[in-house]
């Protein structure tokens, strides 16, 4: 008898009304995959943008129905062929894991279970709840890639992080400080103490223009719309 589960799927791109909560078969893990029982998934801007036909929709195409979601935190329930045991840096049933799956192709994490590529998972830190862990992968990988893979940030550099109290921003601040870089972060005044607690020098964008008080930075991370990118080039 086929096992079934609940999943959030779309059969066309569009607004909130295209989202369906449906009963579908539980996926069977293929070679080098593990079946993860979901505890939590996150909703990022790219999720709803893709659902609407933007975001990653051009890369996914119209292979409907599509199970939404990319971030995952859960427990390994079954190993697919070729997945090694934990003594060989693999996975075991019962392991708590988290990760970003198949991006930009459908990650299929808005479901009770997901068949996940084993190499795209990491051990969930014990100090994080599943909800906290599920909020991490896409945001922290975005920050990491921007700072280190694209921006080549090094110890002794100074980074200007816009929206520094936001999802990507506050993780970027912590990663830059971990690397040994100085950080200036823009945010509203209400978040000034929060940024100081992370090791950043805050700039209240509601009271002053950052380019009037910031200079000689090595990198600017811009996670906001508008003219901020052009203005950042001058500092």
Instruction: Tell me the CATH number at 106.
Output: 3.90.180.10
Q: Is the domain of 16 the same as that of 120? A: yes
Q: Is the domain of 85 the same as that of 162? A: no
Tens-digit pLDDT profile for residues 181-192: 999 999 999 999
Neighbour count for residue 88 (Cβ, 10 Å): 7
* CA gap 8, 41 in Å, rounded: 12
Phi/psi of residue 92, each to 5°?
-130, 150
Q: Is the domain of 82 the same as that of 188? A: no
Number of domains forming the structure of the chain: 2
21 has which bridge partners? 8
Q: Give the model's pLDDT for residue 222.
A: 95
Helices in the chain by DSSP H: which ranges? 45-51, 57-60, 130-134, 137-144, 167-179, 192-198, 210-213, 228-232
Domain end among 77, 94, 129: 129
Residue 84 above 80 pLDDT?
no
Query: Is residue 172 within 8 Å of 157, Cβ to Cβ?
Result: no
Q: Is the domain of 116 the same as that of 152? A: no
Q: Is the domain of 143 the same as that of 119? A: no
Q: Give the model's pLDDT for residue 17.
A: 97
Q: Calculate mean pLDDT across residues 188-211.
A: 97
Q: Is the domain of 119 the same as that of 28? A: yes
Residue 161 above 70 pLDDT?
yes
Joined together, the tokens standing for residue 194 give 């929060």
CA dihedral 134→111→45→49, nearest 10 degrees, is 160
Q: Give the model's pLDDT for residue 146.
A: 97
Closest-CA residue to 96 (of 42, 171, 166, 36): 36
pTM: 0.89
Range of the domain at 151: 138-232
Closest-CA residue to 140 (of 160, 110, 170, 119): 170
Domain end among 129, 153, 181: 129
Q: Is the domain of 30 the same as that of 119? A: yes
Q: Is the domain of 124 the same as that of 142? A: no
SS3 state at 16: helix
Cis peptide before 104 (omega within 30 of 0): yes
pLDDT tier at 124, thresholds 50, 70, 90: very high
Residue 89 above 70 pLDDT?
no
DSSP annotation string for 38-101: EEE----HHHHHHHTT-TTHHHH-S-SSEE---EEEEEEEEEPTTPPPGGGT---TT-EEEEE-
Q: Calculate mean pLDDT across residues 14-37.
A: 97
Q: Is the domain of 84 the same as that of 180? A: no
Q: Calculate mean pLDDT across residues 168-187.
A: 98
Residue 90 above 90 pLDDT?
no
Q: Give the model's pLDDT for residue 52.
A: 98
* CA gap 1, 34 in Å, rounded: 21
Q: Is the domain of 159 the same as that of 207? A: yes
Q: Residue 217 is part of a domain; what is its CATH number?
A: 3.40.50.720
Domain end among 95, 129, 163: 129
Q: Is the domain of 11 the same as that of 113? A: yes
Neighbour count for residue 40 (Cβ, 10 Å): 17
Q: Is the domain of 63 the same as that of 109? A: yes
Residue 113 above 70 pLDDT?
yes
Residue 234 above 90 pLDDT?
no
């Amino acid at each position: 008898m086929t096992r079934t589960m609940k999943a959030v799927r779309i059969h066309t791109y569009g607004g909130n009304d295209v989202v369906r909560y449906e009963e579908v078969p539980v996926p069977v893990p293929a070679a080098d995959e593990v079946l993860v029982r979901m505890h939590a998934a996150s909703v990022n801007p790219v999720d709803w943008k893709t659902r609407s036909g933007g975001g990653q929709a051009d890369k996914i195409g119209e292979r409907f129905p599509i199970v939404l979601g990319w971030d995952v935190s859960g427990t390994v329930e079954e190993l697919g062929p070729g997945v090694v045991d934990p003594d060989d840096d693999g996975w075991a049933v019962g392991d708590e894991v988290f990760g970003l799956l198949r991006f930009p192709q459908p990650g299929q994490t808005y479901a009770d279970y997901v068949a996940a590529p084993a190499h795209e998972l990491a051990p969930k830190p014990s100090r994080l709840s599943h909800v906290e862990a599920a909020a991490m992968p896409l945001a922290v990988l975005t920050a990491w890639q921007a700072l280190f893979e694209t921006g080549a940030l090094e110890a002794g550099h100074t980074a200007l992080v816009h929206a520094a109290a936001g999802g990507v921003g506050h993780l970027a601040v912590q990663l830059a400080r971990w690397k040994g870089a100085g950080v200036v972060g823009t945010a509203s005044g209400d978040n000034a103490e929060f940024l100081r607690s992370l090791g950043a020098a805050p700039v209240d964008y509601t009271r002053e223009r950052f380019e009037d008080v910031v200079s000689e930075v090595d990198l600017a991370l811009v996670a906001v719309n508008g003219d901020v990118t052009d203005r950042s080039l001058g500092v």
